[in-house]
Structure 1
Amino acid sequence: MTVKRSGLGKGLGKGLDSLIPDNKGSRKNSAAQKENKEETVSSGERMVKINKVEPNREQPRKKFEEDSLLELADSIKQFGVLQPLLVQQKDGYFEIIAGERRWRAAKLAGIKEVPVIVREYTDKEVVEIALIENIQRENLNPIEEAMAYKRLMKEFHMKQDEIAERVAKSRTAVTNSIRLLKLDDRVQQMVIEDMISTGHARTLLGLEDGEEQYAIANKVFDEKLSVRELEKLIKELKNPKEKKEKQSRENDFIYRDLEERMKGIMGTKVCVNRKANGRGKIEIEYYSDEELERLFEMIMSIKEGVR
């Protein structure tokens, strides 16, 4: 697997790539300068011991796919870390701003040193860069992404359109992402664990009650309902009267058919009047004493035939 360099759109002006120079050529020179492990290899880049690098505790991404890390580790064993980690100097160590996935994979690969670029950033810039890297590379799960957006809004007072511009997404996409945080916590966990899709999650927002959200989410998972089927189910839950009226219209057809069939047998008008709970009455019209007698004899003959 070849590690691709990521184009990060409009994030932080020209994107994260504008902060990380192309070092493919300079990496070849690092072997010749190996005696001085932390000597600068190219402008702003240096090799440091991997045990001197630590992840950022405020990293928006909390979950890393093991299979994906193992694939990257295999690539690093063959080609090394092709893109330096972006770090800032802390007291006795370097804190990762961008590149934690590469750092984790390098540790799995048994790499002793990693290339880094040391920069100084404000807390806001650190969060922005970490957010941009993860979102642009689609490394965050939907709930982590929503929480990252929410943090930018709450802690750094950024507006949704500003966030959208920074991460090169539409404002609608950012808004829909943040709305996922209105889901019950248990439903959010189901999204994280891929038990239900983001489409299912957005549809469940049509239900306000958390318990109902969770119950229907489990129904989606157990019965493998599609998003369209879920939309129909929620519509019926929110509009029981409409469902009842639809069922009533369907039943009307059945009763009209029964009326026509009885009319054909008895030779006179028959009306089925329905009431609640499956009850009702049947009205049979007659227009003379002779016809009444005929209908009576017909009913009696049917009764005798049943015996």
Structure 2
Amino acid sequence: MAVKKGLGKGLDVMIPEVIIENTDKSDENVSRETLIHISDIEPNKSQPRKKFDEDALQELADSIKQYGVIQPLILQKREKYYEIIAGERRWRAARLAGLKEVPAIIKDYSPQEIVEIALIENIQREDLNPIEEAQTYHRLIEEFHLKQDEVAERVSKSRTAITNSMRLLKLDDRIQQMLIDDMISSGHARALLSIENKDVQYHTACKIFDEKLSVRETEKLVKQILKEKPIKEASATIEDEFIYRDIEERIRNIIGTKVSIHKKKKNKGTIEIEYYSNEELERIIDMFEAMK
């Protein structure tokens, strides 16, 4: 009896069942698993996923050393190599594990199907960061002229989820990078969309990261910024905060202890220098005396 492998909801619609054992040779519509030399395989340049966690890859490589590659890669034959349609993470881990060959299914797909399969696989495994996911939805709509409803149907998500994802691309580029680097969450980012000024967006995002604000706290902060001050004034206030933080850091690097600047009205304020022992206080005093 032939053994069949399903590739999960979504993918199984686009990728045919895999027949492991030899069956009727005349059936040309059945895709069969085969072994491909790992050096003959190259990643897909259109792969939505750009970042791969090195620790997670090593864990998968250790598993592959013990159990092998359980699920075959999906490849498409090019002129001089095989291109990965699905399974780049497995391919990378297999190389780390020292494998010479990997199981694969060879199949022809249209450019649109290639993007859809790669997207579905990554979404199912939660491998994409929010910006990679949003960019791929945008590509399906702009390049392949799909409607949001059609994209939603293909990836088994609601139309609202697709819309909210793509809205993240309206954020300042610096905030998008913070999302990619996992410095803030999608919830934080969506709250920032209410702020139109890009500099205020970015400085607020930095405040969220520095102060480890929750999404609820971020929403309150954004409402406060929009309600209490005109956007230019809010921008200047946040800008001042970062200038003073920079000065605090520069002084700290000079004297080697925590420094806080407390701004008052009319360009006045106080500088607070912390010390943690009498010896450290003496050291700070000696340093100031040496500056005379």
Same fold, judged at TM 0.5 (above): yes
Which residue does 1:139 correspond to in 2? 127
* Counterpart position of 1:209: 197
| 3-state SS in 1 of match to 2:205 | helix
Structure 2 counterpart of 1:96: 84
Superposed CA deviations along residues 248-301 of structure 1, whole A, max 9, x for unmatched, are: xxxxxxxxxxxxxxxxxxxxxxxxxxxxx9xxxxxxxxxxxxxxxxxxxxxxxx
The match for 2:217 is 229
Percent identity between the two aligned chains? 63
Q: Match for 1:239 among 215, 227, 239?
A: 227
Q: CA deviation at 1:234?
A: 1.0
Q: Write the letter of the residue equivalent to 2:110.
A: T
Which AA in structure 2 matches 1:173? A
**Alignment-derived partner of residue 38 in structure 1:** none
Instruction: Say which SS state the counterpart of residue 44 (structure 1) adopts.
Output: strand
Compare 42-51 and 82-91 and name the one that shifted more.
42-51
Q: Distance in 1 between matches of 2:167 and 2:17?
A: 33
**CA deviation map 1:38-96 (0-9, x unaligned):** xxxx9522111100011011111100111111111111101111111111111111000
1:54, 1:96 within 8 Å by CA — same for their partners in 2?
yes
Tell me the residue number matched to 2:101. 113
Distance 1:59 1:20, change over 3 A: farther
SS at match of 1:56: coil
Task: State the shift of 1:6 in Å.
Answer: 5.1
Q: Using a 3 Å threshold, how does the CA distance of structure 1 residues 43 and 234 change in structure 2: closer, same or farther?
A: closer
How far apart are residue 19 of structure 1 and its match?
2.6
Conserved 8 A contact 2:19-2:32: no
> Does the CA contact (< 8 Å) of 1:8 and 1:133 recur in 2?
no
SS of equivalent to 1:48: strand
Name the residue aligned to 1:246.
none
Output the aligned Cα RMSD. 2.2
Alignment equivalent of 1:19, drawn from 16, 20, 27: 16
- TM superposition outliers: structure 1 runs of 4+ over 4 Å: none
Aligned equivalents of 2:217 and 2:55: distance in 1?
33
Stretches of structure 2 lacking an aligned partner (at least 5 in a row): 23-29, 230-264, 266-292
Q: How does 1:6-155 map to 2 (within 5 A)?
A: 7-9=8-10, 14-16=12-14, 18-21=15-18, 23=20, 26=21, 43-155=31-143
Cα pair 1:5 1:83 within 8 Å, conserved: no
SS of aligned partner of 1:211: helix
Measured at CA, do residues 6 and 142 of structure 1 come closer, stay the same or move farther in structure 2, by a change above 3 Å?
farther
Describe the SS at the equivalent of 1:15.
helix
Instruction: Specify the code of the residue in structure 2 equivalent to 1:124.
Output: Q
Which whole-Å deviations, capped at 9, do the CAs of 1:133-155 have from their partners, x for residues lacking one? 11121110010000000000100
Q: CA deviation at 1:22?
A: 6.2
Q: Which runs of 5+ in 1 are unaligned?
A: 30-41, 242-276, 278-307
Q: 1:201 to 1:151 in 2, by over 3 A?
A: same
Normalising by structure 2, we get a TM-score of 0.71
Q: Answer whether contact 2:19 2:33 (CA < 8 A) is retained.
A: no
| Contact 1:20/1:117 (8 A) holds in 2 | no
Alpha carbons 1:20, 1:84 under 8 Å: kept = no
Change (3 A) 1:22 1:197: farther
CA distance in 2, matches of 1:240, 1:122: 53
User: What are the equivalent positions in structure 2 for 1:156-305 lying under 5 Å apart?
Assistant: 156-240=144-228
Q: Equivalent residue of 2:150, what SS?
A: helix
CA distance in 2, matches of 1:121, 1:93: 15
Shift of 1:20: 4.5
Describe the SS at the equivalent of 1:61.
coil
**2:18 counterpart SS class:** coil
Shift of 1:213: 0.5
Once residues 43 and 137 of structure 1 are traced to their aligned partners in structure 2, the CA distance between those partners, rounded to angstroms, is 24
CA deviations 1:161-215 (Å, max 9, x no partner) are 1111100111111110000000000000001111111110010011111111000
